[in-house]
Amino acid sequence: MTRALASATSGARALPDFLVIGAQRAGTTTLYHYLVRHPSIGGAVLDKEIHFFDLAYVEGIDHYRAAFPLRSSLARAERRTGVRHLVGEATPYYLFHPLVPERVARDLPDVKLLAVLRDPVDRAWSQYRHEVDLGYEDLSFGEAIDREERRLAGEEERLVTEAGSVSFEHQHHSYVARGRYAEQLERWYARFPRERLLLVRAEDLFQEPGPVFERVLRFLGVAAWHPAAWRPYNAASVTTMAPQTRERLRAYFAPWNARLSELTGTDFGWRA
145-174: pLDDT as tens digits: 999 999 999 999 999 999 999 999 999 999
The parent domain of residue 93 ranges over 3-264
* CA 208 to each of CA 21, 116, 232, 251: distance values in angstroms, whole numbers, following the listed order: 21, 14, 12, 28
98 occurs within a structural domain? yes
Higher pLDDT, 9 or 57: 57
Q: Does 271 reside within a domain?
A: no
User: CA nearest 212: which of 222, 220, 202?
Assistant: 202
Query: What phi and psi, each to the nearest 5 degrees, are found at residue 194?
Result: -60, -35
Count of other CB atoms within 10 angstroms of residue 220: 18
Cross-strand pairs, 197: 113
Under 8 Å CB-to-CB from 252, ≥6 apart: which residues? Answer: 176
Q: Is residue 254 pLDDT above 80, yes or no? A: yes
pLDDT digit string, tens, across residues 51-86: 999 999 999 999 999 999 999 999 998 999 999 999
Any domain includes 270:
no
CATH number of residue 35's parent domain: 3.40.50.300
**Within-domain flag for 272:** no
In a domain, 23, yes or no: yes
What rounded mean pLDDT belongs to the chain?
93
Q: Which of 54-58, 154-158, 225-229, 230-234 has the lowest mean pLDDT?
A: 230-234
Give the pLDDT score at 2.
Answer: 43
pLDDT band at 8; cut points 50, 70, 90 = low
Residue 1, pLDDT score:
41
Q: What's the order of all strands across the beta sheet hosting 86-90?
A: 41-42, 86-90, 18-22, 112-117, 197-201
**Residue pLDDT, tens place only, 17-33:** 999 999 999 999 999 99
Nearest residue to 131 via CA among 144, 115, 146, 118:
144
Domain assignment present for 146: yes
Distance CA 232, CA 130 (A): 16
pTM of the model: 0.93
Domain count, the chain: 1
